[in-house]
């Protein structure tokens, strides 16, 4: 059975185009420039795990024919990574088991505050999720299938976001700086999936130069740039990138 990592959404907080049909500098006739909000999926043996639940999660799961979800790992609490959470109810009905939610203490408490009905009985509706606080290293299990995940904090403007590493793949979708003590956790990767918002500097995100500097430092076999702003045209960006570095697009799959 193949293990598959999928970029469900490769866009920044407003996606591409924006709601007012603004396409920035990207060519709207090229499907790879149509970007939903940043989140990802991994299928490992019989486990089906989401990283974040974007506002576009329903379209993303239908487009990628993902029919089951066992768990969600959250990178941080911003709306573009979380607001699709209530869409997951059918998976609770189907599995008759609460969906495991993995995040750090701060993110769990923000989720419980904003989406209380998912975690506690409200207005006669049963809770559908179970909150699990992550450690530096933790396991997600289903029957005999066990995925080991390492996590560490990265800076994302005024908050921290969580980076996840599993099977030589690292996912760091929202980040403007990696604390020096955590750089070593990114050695010997097969794939780095990393924030690359735009060309210009940004206070909460890597820009292109920052992302390429990180790639130079840690030398993953392949790198994929995600969280792309509407100004990045897929084909123009691809031409500029060094060998083994690629822009993400919605639906991009990696076998691992």
Question: Could you tell me how many residues of this chain bind Zn ion (CB under 5 A)?
Answer: 2
The strand ranges marked E within the chain are: 4-9, 39-44, 47-51, 71-73, 99-103, 129-133, 137-142, 145-156, 159-166, 169-172, 191-195, 222-226, 245-247, 253-255
Question: Per-residue string for binding with Zn ion, 62-101, x by CB under 5 A?
Answer: ----------------x-----------------------
For residue 217, give every residue at least 6 positions away whose Cβ sits within 8 Å of its Cβ, in sequence order, or none: 183
Task: Work out whether 153 is an interface residue with Zn ion (CB under 5 A).
Answer: no
Residue nearest Zn ion by beta-carbon distance:
78
Task: Work out whether 174 is an interface residue with Zn ion (CB under 5 A).
Answer: yes
Asked if residue 50 lies in contact with residue 72, where contact means CB atoms within 8 angstroms, the answer is yes
Stretch that binds Zn ion, among 136-144, 174-182, 205-213, 219-227 (CB under 5 A): 174-182
70 vs 174 by CB, closer to Zn ion = 174
159 vs 241 by CB, closer to Zn ion = 159
128 vs 172 by CB, closer to Zn ion = 172
Residue 146 Cβ vs Zn ion, minimum distance, rounded to whole Å: 30
| Residue 128 Cα to chain centre, angstroms | 21
Q: Which residues pair with 17 in a beta bridge?
A: none
Tokens representing 216? Answer: 């130079």
Task: Work out whether 205 is an interface residue with Zn ion (CB under 5 A).
Answer: no
48 vs 151 by CB, closer to Zn ion = 151
Residue 91, judged by CB atoms within 10 A of its CB (0-12, 13-18, 19+), counts as buried
Q: Which residues pair with 39 in a beta bridge?
A: 9
90 vs 157 by CB, closer to Zn ion = 157
32 vs 78 by CB, closer to Zn ion = 78
Residue 78 Cβ vs Zn ion, minimum distance, rounded to whole Å: 3
Q: Which residues bind Zn ion (CB under 5 A)?
A: 78, 174
């Amino acid at each position: 059975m193949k293990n598959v990592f999928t970029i469900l959404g490769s866009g920044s907080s407003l996606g591409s185009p924006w709601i007012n049909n603004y396409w920035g500098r990207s060519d709207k006739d090229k499907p790879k420039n149509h970007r939903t909000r940043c989140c990802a999926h991994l299928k490992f043996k019989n486990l089906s795990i989401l990283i974040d639940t974007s506002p576009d999660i329903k379209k993303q799961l239908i487009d990628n024919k993902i029919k089951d979800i066992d768990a969600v790992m959250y990178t941080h609490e911003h709306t573009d990574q979380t607001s699709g959470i209530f869409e997951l109810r059918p998976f609770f009905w189907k599995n008759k088991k609460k969906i495991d939610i993995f995040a750090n203490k701060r993110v769990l408490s923000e989720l419980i505050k904003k989406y209380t009905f998912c975690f506690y009985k409200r207005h006669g509706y049963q809770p559908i999720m179970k909150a699990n606080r992550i450690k530096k290293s933790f396991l997600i299990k289903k029957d005999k299938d066990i995925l080991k995940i390492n996590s560490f904090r990265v800076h994302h403007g005024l908050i921290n976001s969580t980076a996840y590493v599993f099977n030589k793949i690292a996912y760091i979708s929202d980040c403007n700086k990696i604390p020096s003590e955590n750089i070593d956790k990114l050695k010997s990767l097969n794939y780095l999936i990393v924030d690359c918002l735009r060309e210009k500097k940004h206070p909460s995100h890597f820009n292109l130069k920052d992302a390429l500097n990180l790639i130079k430092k840690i030398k993953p076999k392949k790198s994929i740039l995600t969280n792309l702003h509407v100004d990045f045209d897929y084909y123009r960006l691809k031409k500029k990138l060094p060998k083994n570095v690629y822009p993400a697009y919605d639906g991009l799959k990696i076998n691992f």
